[in-house]
């Protein structure tokens, strides 16, 4: 489980809306003076990442109120699956489509420029198909209660 502290901004039945604050380990990094990530974090220190809906335990063992600081956890499996989908799937669909197009037109007698153009169009179509599939799968994952953030404690 991945955990983080957050501040409760709204209580809604069996869930709360929380706001997390940017945290950075740039203070202990040797490359902090030349790193763009560290520069952005220092310029935006204390800026919220946005709101997140986190489920409360079903047994009502944790009671929270507005402006409480809570610990939220996200299942590591869901985080890793989402990262794979976001980064790898569109790239894989693009490369697969380009590979199929290259094999399809390899012996067609087209000029190299015409074949390259068709492979480029196939790669762009594969990328678009991968992004569309990513959208469908991410909506399905967002409805899975086992992958949703949960409140695990009050600080």
Q: Where are the domains of the chain?
A: 2-74+148-154, 78-142
Q: Can you name the CATH fold of 2-74+148-154?
A: OB fold (Dihydrolipoamide Acetyltransferase, E2P) (2.40.50)
Rounded to two decimals, the pTM is: 0.64
3-class secondary structure per residue, the chain? CEEEEEEEEEEECCEEEEEEECCCCHHHCCCHHHCHHHHHHHHCCCCEEEEEEEECCCCCCCCCCCCCEEEEEECHHHHHHHHHHHHHHHHHHHHHHHHHHHHHHCCCCCCHHHHHHHHHHHHHHHHHHHHHHHHHHHHHHHCCHHHCCEEEEEC
- pLDDT value at residue 134: 92
* pLDDT string in tens for the chain (155-residue length): 888 888 889 888 888 888 876 555 555 666 655 565 554 455 444 445 578 888 888 777 888 888 888 888 888 888 888 888 889 999 999 999 999 999 988 888 888 899 999 999 999 999 999 999 999 988 888 778 777 888 888 87
């Amino acid at each position: 489980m991945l955990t983080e502290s957050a501040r409760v901004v709204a209580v809604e039945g069996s869930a709360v809306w929380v706001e997390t604050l940017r945290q950075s380990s740039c203070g202990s990094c040797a490359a902090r003076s030349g790193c763009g990530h560290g520069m952005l974090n220092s310029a935006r220190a204390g800026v919220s990442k946005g709101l997140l809906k986190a489920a409360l335990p079903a047994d009502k063992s944790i009671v929270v109120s507005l402006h409480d600081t809570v610990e939220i956890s996200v299942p590591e499996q869901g985080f890793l699956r989402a990262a794979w989908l976001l980064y790898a799937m569109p790239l894989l669909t693009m490369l697969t489509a380009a590979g199929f197009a290259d094999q399809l037109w390899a012996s067609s007698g087209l000029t190299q420029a015409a074949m390259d153009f068709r492979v480029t169009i196939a790669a762009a179509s594969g990328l678009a198909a991968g992004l569309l599939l990513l959208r469908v799968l991410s909506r399905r994952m967002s409805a899975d209660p086992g992958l949703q953030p949960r409140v695990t404690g009050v600080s």
